[in-house]
Structure 1
Amino acid sequence: MPMPRRWTSILFLWLLGVLAAAQLAKISVIAPVLRSRFGLTLTETGWLISLLEVGGGLFGFVAGLGLGRVGCRRALLSGLVLLAVSGLWEASASSAIPLFAARAMEGLAYLLVVIAAPTTIATIADAHARPRALALWSTFVPVGVAIGSAVTSLALAPWGLRGVMLGWAMLVMAAIPIAIRLPIGHGIENRIAFPPAPAWLATIAFGLYTLSICALTMLLPTYLVEQRGAAISTSGLIAALASGATLPAFGFALWAMRGGAPGRRTMILIATPALVGAGALGAAAFTGGTGLAGASMLAVLAIGVGGIVSPLMFARLPVLAGVRRGDDPRIASANGLLTQFGAGGALLGPPLAARLVEHAGWQALGIAFALLSLAMLATLIAAEQLSLRTAA
């Protein structure tokens, strides 16, 4: 495949991930409206937000192992169709039970998209472009959440709740004909291969990252509305800005990868100050003395500083998984493992954070974010050290 066409396909696959991730923020922004309409508690609302990750949290690793049998194209198209159907179902829900059921189906659809798309990217990109392409993929959740938050918050007043749901479903349906024409084959070898131990530790670290980030970003609109007096539209735009703060971090990661995938030493030297700083900023965002502007600025900075690490982790994953070729099935199983822990963190983050807030107050959420950032750093360093001993 010529280089320009290859990158066009990579960018479209990334946009599919962005569209899928936007469905996470869709519920987060309208959560106060849903709580009022369906009589949901804060914890129930947290579960509704995070149910998008139920498929990945339960079946991510299995899906990654089985992708070689199913094929990337079939998994990707099936995921898009289910994503559109579940969106239409959400729009027609008249009570909490069908809304939760539709959200769970949306989670299975999301799993298929986010397993097939990065694996396809890894097979399309050559060895030199693969670290940058996977680093780009790592931004699909924050970019999707930013776009989903902004679009949903702006469209809610003129379109209403059902109109917003239908609009997102229509966007997914419009993407399906383009996805059908993507020049992708089966993708990877038709066999099952398990990733080595360093990849397991690295994906656990990523799970801690998504646990902390999703706990903060998904409850941030509710915090700003209930504790800082923000309007729903304002809180949604601030959440979008917070998620979008990872884009400058992605630019820094690309600069760090100008010579290829980052080495072990570079990874640790960048991750240490970034995660320590992010934890401190996140803890400060939920202290009682901050107003709307101060809390918003601290939350945005925390996500932006911590977001430097995520692209580097994606770029390092093939190295830690021992991948040597684009069709190596270990890239699919490692992506599945990454989705398993990442989705598990995103699934548990909002409801656990909501429960923590109900029992210990909003300040406890900031402290938990800081502790999770430090735990992620320790696990990441352990993965790199184990990789060093394995190579030796």
Structure 2
Amino acid sequence: MIRTWLNIVALWLIGVLAAAQLPKIAVLAPALRETFHLSLAQVGLLVSLLEIGGAVFGMVGGLALGRFGGRRFLLAGLSVLLACSVVEALAPNVALLFAARAVEGLGYVLVVIAAPTMIVAIAPERIRGAALALWSTFVPVGVALGSGVTGVAVALTSPKTALLLWAGLCALGLVAAARQGAGVRGAARMVLPRPAAVVVTFGFGLYTVFVCALTMLLPSFLIERVGASLSGASLATGLVSLTALPASAIAVRILHGAPSAPRRVVLTVVPALLATAVIAPLIFHPSVAGDAVAVTLVAGLALLLSGIASPLVFARLPGLAGATAPDDPRIAAANGLLTQFGAGGALIGPPLGGLVVGRWGWQGLGVCVAVLALAMLAAILTAERLGRAKSPEDEAFLAPETAA
């Protein structure tokens, strides 16, 4: 069991490494603007190009993984991330910089589809839910790590060296990935997940929409309306984002002993998301909005509560996809769909939040978060209802290990 957990943590760390590539360009933005004479809009596009790969190719990648195998995808993805970091560091012009960032998005997709699929394949049923709950934290941890490491590296060296540092870390990731088993055997066919998985991954997409809208716009609110400093607003937003960690710990505790129990999941997500819908409008309410600490605490509580639901989506995904074995290709396809909806939500969230604030003000954003939380709840409940109709084959996915 210890060896199994070491492999699971290694795959999680590889996912964290991939997610760390998300914020590195944002941290380097001032230097890149000066070097390449980029506009603010161009920098924004450069940052978001990594997510475009997931938004466009997530489902295709998941289907292809079921055929070619997880380990190959993992190695290919890390190789792409390594090569693109080197090209970004040495890029002599804007065109090559943008091309490298776009290709880097493909590497990111390969890693974040392969790693959770391999976790499902190697984790016994009794710890599978906890392992997937751990995996669900790879983005916030990766974003925090990527921001911190890149910032320190730039302060001590240069932007070029910082990007080469990430290339070196990706090389270490390749070594760790090479030690992993095949995880997912190549299959002769590509299999679509069941409709329940489509619905629940759409719900996860709604989650990323409101989380990204809130966290990306929160610094602007704290600086413009509350009078916080840039460093203070950044720190507050980082703390709010990291509520995903205690939320995941709570989800692991809930899943302990019954990692695939639909009833337990429903009894958890209903109060969590209803409470989120109640609390979210208070973030920008006049009674709270004048105090940066109060805004941070209320926003953190809203994301903590909604963040409990997110790991449960990951834990339930194999069962809702209709998987009949830990290496069923439907798991890879469902993870690809999850990546596609998640990346799409990350792209849509900030501009949608900006439109809402422009039309209805900051309190409108709080209401928007509440509505999206309720929509996420509706999607999860609908998925669980669709997932109730199981064939005898579906039960075989869990029965042998449960009996043990």
Corresponding residue of 1:338 = 338
Q: Structure 2 CA distance, aligned partners of 1:356 and 1:131?
A: 36
Report deviation, 1:8. 1.0
Match of 2:215 in 1: 217
CA distance in 1, matches of 2:98, 2:367: 30
Report what 2:257 is aligned to: 259
C-alpha distance in 1, partners of 2:308/2:32?
A: 33
Compared with structure 1, are the counterparts of its residues 149 and 283 closer, same or farther at alpha carbon in structure 2 (3 Å cutoff)?
Answer: farther
SS in 1 for 2:369: helix
Structure 1 range deviating more: 124-133 or 224-233: 224-233
Q: How far apart are 1:377 and its partner, in Å?
A: 0.9
CA contact (8 A) 1:135 1:312 kept: yes
Correspondence 1:195 to 2:193: yes
Q: CA deviation at 1:213?
A: 1.3
Residues of 1 paired with 2:75 and 2:295: CA distance? 41
1:239: which partner in 2?
237
Moved more, 235-244 or 338-347: 235-244
Moved more, 68-77 or 282-291: 282-291
The Cα offsets for residues 122-157 of structure 1, whole Å up to 9 and x where unpaired, read as: 111122222222221111112212322343445554
**Contact 2:129–2:252 (8 Å) recurs in 1:** no
Aligned to 2:246: 248
Deviation per residue, 1:332-366 (Å, 9 max, x gap): 11111111211211222233334544565544433
Structure 2 counterpart of 1:9: 7
How far does the alpha carbon of each residue in 1:295-320 deviate from its partner, in whole angstroms, 9 at most, with x for none?
22222222211110011111111111
Structure 1 residues 104, 131: CA separation in 2 closer, same or farther (over 3 Å shift)?
same
Give 2:399's aligned residue.
none
Q: What is the root-mean-square deviation in Å for CA atoms of aligned residues?
A: 2.8
> Structure 2 length as normaliser, TM-score?
0.86
Could you list the runs of 5+ residues in structure 2 that have no partner in the other structure?
393-404
Unaligned runs of 5+ in 1: none
Q: Tell me whether 275-284 or 13-22 shows the greater mean CA deviation.
A: 275-284
Answer whether contact 1:142 1:244 (CA < 8 A) is retained: yes
Inter-partner Cα distance in structure 2 for 1:331 and 1:307:
22
Structure 1 distance, partners of 2:118, 2:315, is 15
1:76 to 74, 77, 80: 74
Question: What TM-score, normalized to structure 1?
Answer: 0.88
- State the aligned residue count: 389
SS in 1 for 2:387: helix
1:1-392 aligned at under 5 Å gives the runs 3-29=1-27, 38=37, 40-41=39-40, 46-92=44-90, 97-184=95-182, 186-187=184-185, 189-287=187-285, 289-357=289-357, 361-389=361-389
2:395 aligns with: none
Which whole-Å CA distance do the structure 2 matches of 1:279 and 1:31 have between them?
Answer: 35
Whole-Å Cα distance in 1 between the matches of residues 50 and 125 of structure 2?
32
Paired amino acid for 2:380 = L
Which amino acid counterpart does residue 302 of structure 1 have in structure 2? A
Q: Which amino acid aligns with 2:4?
A: R
| Mapped contact 2:71–2:181 kept (Cα < 8 A) | no
